[in-house]
Amino acid sequence: MPVVYSSAKSSNLTHTFRCTAGLAALVFACSCYAVPPPATSATNTHSSDIQNAVQSANQGEIAREWGLTIQEWSRYQTLMEGSRGIYSPGLDPLTALGIEAKSDEERTRYAELQVRAERQRVDKELAYQLAYDQAFARLYPNEKVIQISSNPTSPVSSVQPVLKSDGRLAIFVQDNCTACIARLKNLQAQKQAFDLYFVGSQGDDEKIRRWAILAGIEPASVRSRQITLNHDEGRWLGLGLGGELPAVVREVNGQWQRQ
């Protein structure tokens, strides 16, 4: 007798077959289109190349600001990583390369570049200082940005003023003296109290005031008398110490000595 399947049973078998076939097809498709592993090494290399290119471009821009080639800038960095960087930390590129020049021609080139750079810097700072002075005068018309210390000696007096000591340092400076500014900044960094005497000021308060601002003297230090600003009025010659300026001196056992 023939076997007869019910319609319900036949339907269940058909459904099971279809599901099994669909699952097999899905597994086959996934195996055929497996996702490859990420190219981590290639991506990192590309990123590193971009960073190096950006860094090189930045260094090239900095080199051009100083009038240098990228090779000269690289040599400056190498110098500052060695003994020159230990002897003179923070030294600017032109000075460092000039000091370590390999020939007279190189030394002359860097010196000329530095003269031009210093001239441009001073022109910019003076222009800004003029704007600052004008703004200060508008906002605080009855005050001075930096106060010059009063001098009891009359300008017409024939008596040469004497340098008085209270244990403080005295520093003698003059205009157009980059070494004077460098020594002054060094004293300020050490938090030293000192009296500054400007040689050749000819009694012009504004000349001292402008020089002090360009040299980076803090007005607060002058107001607190941590630093005093004075006209030299012959004191430097009266000491008879001789030598180039700047001169930092201190009285030791009644005698003034260079420090």
Q: Where are the domains of the chain?
A: 53-118, 169-258
- Say how far apart CA 66 and CA 92 lie, in whole Å: 10
**pLDDT tens, per residue, the chain with 259 residues:** 443 434 444 444 344 434 444 544 444 444 444 445 555 565 666 666 666 666 666 778 899 999 999 999 999 999 999 999 998 888 899 999 999 999 999 999 999 999 898 888 878 877 887 788 788 889 888 776 677 876 544 444 445 577 876 788 999 999 988 889 889 988 988 888 999 999 999 888 888 988 888 888 888 888 889 999 999 999 999 898 888 999 999 988 888 899 8
**Helices of type H across the chain:** 7-32, 40-65, 70-80, 83-87, 93-99, 104-139, 178-189, 205-214, 219-223, 235-239
DSSP string for residues in 75-143: HHHHHHTTHHHHHSTT--HHHHHHHT-SSHHHHHHHHHHHHHHHHHHHHHHHHHHHHHHHHHHHH-TT-
Quick one: residue 3, left, alpha or beta (phi over 0 = left, psi -120 to 50 = alpha)?
beta
The pair of structure tokens assigned to 124 is: 């910019």
In this prediction the pTM is 0.50
